[in-house]
């Protein structure tokens, strides 16, 4: 029986309205701080290629940490399993930017989805001769089938200006000899990566390879089916920081969030969903976005569990 996804998304949009005002916009990155709490967009794309959208699903926003999945995928392409010598794959049980944990674990980040881990992953990409000048941008454009996708340099610059804690993290990684490139080179690449501006529709297209076992919307093989399983596993256990357990419990899908208010979720073999709403929970995940995904798996009665 075909699922009426469009109707389900419409219902979800109505149901999350009261939540929109309750979150808190990320205020430490000035260009994000200005965003209205009232934005809401959502898309779902099946592996057959049907796309369903509601609200501002074509409006681009700062995907922030969602980009860590592109970062990880690129490093896996370039370095394979060698990346696990420099970063672990355990949920952190701590905030996404904890220095104390990095120190307690001697400079090996808990996983690639927290800031310290993403910096190490980026450092590995920079180390590789085949990384290319733009590192990841061309790859993301190809995945999303849209050449107009770009960095938002105002956001990147704002992160650079206010990224004192990320700088502290990078120096601490350096102190533990877990960063090869010059600090500023890694940070600039990282800030640009986080500044990627994409819409919900861009995201459900770009993440298709995680629902199909590795093939993107052009039929290109992006990752082996084993790598895809592993990326999904890491998204489930580490993708929403210290809310991973609650998210698995309520939503039940591999997922990755960003402080820009975006969340992407994958039901392997079926679909990718993306949602955007700038108001965040105290732990840094979109409040209405989380609820929207919870409603999605409840209505469709399908999750990985």
Which residues of the shown chain bind a copy of itself in the complex (CB under 8 A)?
Answer: 88-94, 98-101, 103-104, 110-111, 164-165, 167-172, 174-175, 225-226, 228-230, 232-234, 236-238, 242-246, 248-249, 252, 254, 268, 298, 301, 303-305
Closer of 51 and 224 to a copy of itself (Cβ) = 224
Residue 142 CB, shortest distance to a copy of itself, in Å, is: 24
Residue 106 CB, shortest distance to a copy of itself, in Å, is: 12
Residue 285 CB, shortest distance to a copy of itself, in Å, is: 13
Residue 245 CB, shortest distance to a copy of itself, in Å, is: 4
Closer of 152 and 243 to a copy of itself (Cβ) = 243
3-state secondary structure the chain: CCCCHHHHHHHHHHHHHHHHCCCECCCCCHHHHCCCCCCCEEEEEECCCCEEEEECCCCCEECHHHHHHHHHHHHHHHHHHHHHHCCCCCCCCCCCCCHHHHHHCCCCCCCCCCHHHHHHHHHHHHHCHHHCCCCCHHHHHHHHCCCCCEECHHHHHHHHHHCHHHHHHHHHHHHCCCCCCCHHHHHHHHHHHHCEEECHHHHHHHHHHHCCCCECCCCCECCCHHHHHHHHHHHHHHCCHHHHHHHHHHCCCCEEECCCCEEEEEECCCEEEEEECCCECCCCCEHHHHHHHHHHHHHCCCCCC
Closer of 27 and 103 to a copy of itself (Cβ) = 103
Residue 300 CB, shortest distance to a copy of itself, in Å, is: 12
Closer of 141 and 230 to a copy of itself (Cβ) = 230
Closer of 92 and 199 to a copy of itself (Cβ) = 92
Residue 50 CB, shortest distance to a copy of itself, in Å, is: 22
Closer of 72 and 198 to a copy of itself (Cβ) = 72
């Amino acid at each position: 029986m075909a699922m009426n996804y469009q109707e389900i998304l419409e219902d979800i949009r109505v149901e999350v309205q009261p939540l929109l005002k309750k979150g808190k916009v990320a205020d430490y990155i000035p260009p994000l701080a200005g965003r209205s709490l009232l934005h809401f967009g959502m898309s779902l794309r099946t592996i057959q290629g049907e796309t369903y959208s509601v609200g501002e699903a074509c409006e681009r926003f700062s995907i922030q940490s969602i980009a860590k999945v592109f970062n990880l995928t690129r490093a896996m392409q370039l370095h394979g399993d060698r990346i696990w010598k420099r970063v672990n794959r355990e949920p952190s049980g701590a905030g996404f930017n904890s220095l104390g944990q990095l120190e307690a674990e001697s400079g090996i980040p808990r996983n690639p989805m927290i800031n310290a881990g993403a910096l190490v992953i980026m450092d590995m990409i920079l180390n590789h001769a085949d990384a290319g000048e733009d590192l990841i941008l061309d790859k993301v454009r190809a995945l999303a089938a849209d050449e107009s996708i770009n960095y938002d340099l105002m956001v990147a610059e704002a992160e650079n200006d206010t990224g004192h804690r990320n700088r502290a993290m990078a120096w601490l990684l350096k102190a533990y000899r877990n960063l090869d490139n010059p600090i500023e080179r890694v940070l600039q690449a990282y800030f640009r990566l986080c500044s990627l501006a994409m819409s919900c529709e861009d995201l459900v297209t770009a993440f298709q390879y995680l629902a199909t076992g590795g093939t993107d919307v052009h039929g290109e093989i992006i990752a082996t089916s084993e790598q895809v399983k592993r990326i999904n596993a890491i998204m489930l256990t580490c993708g929403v920081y210290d809310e991973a357990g609650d998210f698995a419990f309520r939503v039940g899908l591999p997922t990755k969030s960003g402080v820009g208010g975006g969340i992407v979720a994958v039901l392997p073999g079926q679909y990718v969903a993306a949602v955007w709403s700038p108001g965040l929970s105290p732990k840094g995940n979109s409040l209405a976005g989380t609820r929207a995904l919870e409603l999605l798996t409840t209505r469709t009665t399908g999750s990985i569990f």
